[in-house]
Amino acid sequence: MATSSTTPTQPLESVTQLLLDAGKREEGLANASIYLEAVGHVVIAWMWIEQLLAAGGKAGDFYEGKRQAARYFYNYELPTTTTQFELLKSLDRTTVEMRSSWF
């Protein structure tokens, strides 16, 4: 699995604090679905760690499947949180600035 100098919780903590700061409520709520998806991925990452710890060095197709599924998640799914957290940190206002009259 890919290794990183940061854990998935580090950007989660900093982005959450940024969004909780006074005056950022509108931006935080405007991108809530992106935040929830990223948080969900971090939670699932921890669940895969638990699965890997439970599998330990055990042999067999079942355990190999667990290890391979975790590898997939960490290599393909978890990296998507990087761009999600970057967007959230930017406090992008695209969705807030949209007007219904433009449709």
Nearest to 8 by CA among 55, 51, 44: 44
Three-state DSSP state, 71: helix
Separation between Cα atoms, residue 83 and residue 59, nearest integer Å: 36
CA angle 33, 34, 39 (to 5 degrees): 95
Of the two residues 102 and 25, the one the predictor is more confident about is 102
Question: Where are the chain's structural domains?
Answer: 9-90
> Which structure tokens are listed for 11?
């950007």
Residue 57 predicted with pLDDT over 60: yes
pLDDT band for position 28 (50/70/90)? Answer: confident
Q: What is the pLDDT of residue 22?
A: 57
pTM equals 0.82
Lowest average pLDDT, out of 2-6, 37-41, 73-77, goes to: 2-6
